[in-house]
Chains A and B, each alone.
Chain A
Amino acid sequence: AQSVAQPEDQVNVAEGNPLTVKCTYSVSGNPYLFWYVQYPNRGLQFLLKYITGDNLVKGSYGFEAEFNKSQTSFHLKKPSALVSDSALYFCAVRGVTGYSTLTFGKGTMLLVSP
Chain B
Amino acid sequence: EAGVTQFPSHSVIEKGQTVTLRCDPISGHDNLYWYRRVMGKEIKFLLHFVKESKQDESGMPNNRFLAERTGGTYSTLKVQPAELEDSGVYFCASSSGTSPSYEQFFGPGTRLTVL
A→B interface (CB under 8 Å): 4, 32, 36, 41-46, 49, 51, 90, 92, 94, 99-107
With contacts A99-B55, A101-B56 known, is A43 near B107, CB below 8 A? yes
Partner of A46, one of B33, B42, B44, B103: B103
Question: Per-residue 0/1 for B42-69: is the Cβ within 8 Å of any A Cβ (1 yes, 0 no)?
Answer: 1111001000000110010000000000
Question: Could you show 11 A-B contacts with beta carbons less than 8 Å apart?
Answer: A32-B100, A43-B106, A49-B103, A100-B95, A100-B98, A101-B59, A102-B104, A103-B42, A104-B35, A104-B42, A106-B41
Q: Enumerate chain A residues within 8 angstroms of B45, measured Cβ to Cβ.
A: 101-103
Partner of A41, one of B4, B35, B102, B108: B108
Q: Enumerate chain B residues within 8 angstroms of A94, measured Cβ to Cβ.
A: 100
| Minimum CB–CB distance for A63 against chain B, Å | 15
Tell me, in angstroms, the Cα distance from A107 to B44 when the chains sit together: 12
Tell me, in angstroms, the Cα distance from A49 to B44 when the chains sit together: 19
| Minimum CB–CB distance for B25 against chain A, Å | 12
Q: Enumerate chain B residues within 8 angstroms of A51, measured Cβ to Cβ.
A: 100-101
Residue of A nearest to B108 (CB): A43
Tell me, in angstroms, the Cα distance from A107 to B105 when the chains sit together: 18
Tell me, in angstroms, the Cα distance from A94 to B102 when the chains sit together: 12
Tell me which residues from 74 to 115 in chain B have a Cβ below 8 Å from any Cβ of chain A: 91, 93, 95, 98-109
Q: Is A100 a contact partner of B103 (Cβ separation < 8 A)?
A: no
Q: Is B40 a contact partner of A106 (Cβ separation < 8 A)?
A: yes
